[in-house]
């Protein structure tokens, strides 16, 4: 709890003075006003985060946290839990969806075991930060204790702090965990105070959406999570990787680093971080509109508008990695694009030389 409290105290809002300067610079560029749309808002946000107009988003990393879920016992997914192990090892080898997209963007993928049911080989290339061997079955009782929920958040903070210390200046959240759409839908249902049917989709595959919804209803009824206490919600119906991703968001905000969030599951994790400290929203860059049913509401609750419409719902951090080049473009615009005044001066110089010939 000490690390979490210290991190929360460290979080401040954007540098509004620098953001205003960035707005003035963007408006002065040689283009019609607002004509570069969201690239302009990204550049202004980045300037406010970094507290400078010269932007550097060179070193990017997707932190993908993996964990299993005890609610798998309720047959809410067609996939065996071994897929969590398989994909986590795939992150380390570099051949999963997020890895190939991240590689194309010049970014790293950092896989973390925060709660996989099995023990991974120590030399597999996955950071081992296991809080417990998967959550307990939330349909029968709390997914984890309050202390374990806090520990999962602090794992995310620790890993993100280390990556930032090693030079990463852009982070993204990713995940792996069979049944984590079940936990995410449960968390969102509690925060939004709506019936699970409104926010529950098929996830990676399930025979009966109705059954999945009924299990989530049962979990909420059994545990009675307090919507005004984010840690209570996480501990009772959440997941260890959700806590870990929330920690990554908190660390990014505390260290004044932008954090690109992926789709539905990452957005719910960001919502947990937001419930703990609303100022984290200043540091969040939402990547894409996920096809998962609850994603639209999760975006609305958090008050964000993702950048891309790609009909994706893979997870892993894949959509976040896909959005990395947009940060590069926004930074290039801010750093290298000429202003209208500079262009006019250059034109006058050229015309003067032409007339003197």
User: How buried is 54 (Cβ within 10 angstroms: 0-12 exposed, 13-18 middle, 19+ buried)?
Assistant: exposed
Is there a catalytic annotation at residue 40? Answer: no
Instruction: Please identify which of the residues 277, 305, 316, 342 carries the catalytic annotation.
Output: 316
Burial string for 286-300 (b: 16+ CB within 10 Å, else e) reads bbbbbbbbbbbbbbe
Instruction: Say how far apart CA 213 and CA 198 lie, in whole Å.
Output: 9
Instruction: Say how far apart CA 90 and CA 315 lie, in whole Å.
Output: 14
Alpha helices in 29-81 (DSSP H): 37-50
Both structure tokens of 283? 């540091």
Residue 300: CA atoms inside 13 Å, Cβ hemisphere, count? 9
Instruction: Say how far apart CA 116 and CA 81 lie, in whole Å.
Output: 9
* β pairing state of 60-67 and 127-128: unpaired
Residue appearing with tokens 């984290």: 280
Beta strand extents in 92-177 (DSSP E only): 108-115, 127-128, 170-176
Instruction: Say how far apart CA 258 and CA 218 lie, in whole Å.
Output: 37
Both structure tokens of 51? 């507290």
Instruction: Say how far apart CA 268 and CA 245 lie, in whole Å.
Output: 9
Both structure tokens of 349? 């110089």
Q: What are phi and psi of 128, to 5 degrees?
A: -95, 110
Residue appearing with tokens 């194309």: 104
Residue appearing with tokens 């982070």: 171
Instruction: Say how far apart CA 84 and CA 71 lie, in whole Å.
Output: 14
Q: What are phi and psi of 130, to 5 degrees?
A: -65, 120
Both structure tokens of 243? 């806590």
List residues with catalytic annotation. Answer: 316
């Amino acid at each position: 709890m000490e690390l979490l409290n210290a991190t929360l105290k460290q979080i401040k809002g954007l540098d509004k003075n620098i953001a205003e300067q960035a707005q003035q610079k963007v408006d002065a560029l040689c283009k019609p006003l607002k004509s570069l749309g969201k690239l302009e808002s990204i550049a202004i946000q980045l300037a406010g985060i970094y507290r400078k107009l010269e932007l550097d988003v060179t070193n990017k990393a997707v932190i993908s946290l993996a964990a299993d879920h005890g609610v798998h016992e309720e047959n809410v997914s067609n996939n065996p839990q071994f897929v969590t192990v398989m994909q986590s090892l795939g992150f380390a080898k570099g051949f999963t969806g997020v890895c190939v997209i991240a590689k194309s963007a010049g970014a790293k993928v950092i896989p973390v075991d925060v709660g996989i049911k099995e023990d991974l080989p120590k030399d597999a290339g996955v950071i081992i930060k296991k809080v417990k061997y998967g959550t307990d079955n939330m349909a029968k009782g709390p997914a984890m204790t309050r202390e374990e929920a806090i520990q999962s958040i602090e794992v995310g903070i620790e890993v993100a702090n280390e990556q930032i210390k090693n030079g990463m200046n852009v982070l993204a959240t990713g995940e792996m965990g069979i049944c984590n759409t079940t936990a995410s839908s449960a968390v969102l249902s509690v925060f939004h105070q709506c019936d699970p049917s409104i926010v529950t989709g098929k996830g990676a595959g399930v025979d009966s959406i109705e059954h999945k919804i009924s299990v989530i209803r049962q979990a909420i009824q059994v545990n009675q999570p307090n919507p005004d206490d984010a840690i209570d919600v996480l501990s009772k119906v959440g997941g260890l990787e959700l806590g870990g991703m929330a920690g990554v968001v908190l660390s990014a905000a505390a260290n004044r680093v932008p954090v690109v969030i992926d789709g539905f599951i990452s957005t719910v994790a960001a919502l947990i971080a937001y419930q703990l400290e609303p100022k984290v929203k200043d540091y969040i860059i939402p990547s894409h509109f996920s096809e998962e049913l609850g994603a639209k509401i999760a975006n609305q609750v958090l008050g964000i508008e993702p950048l891309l419409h790609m009909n994706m719902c893979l997870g892993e951090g894949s959509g976040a990695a896909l959005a990395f080049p947009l940060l590069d473009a926004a930074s290039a615009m801010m750093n290298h694009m000429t202003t209208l005044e500079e262009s006019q001066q250059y034109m006058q110089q050229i015309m003067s030389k032409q007339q003197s010939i």
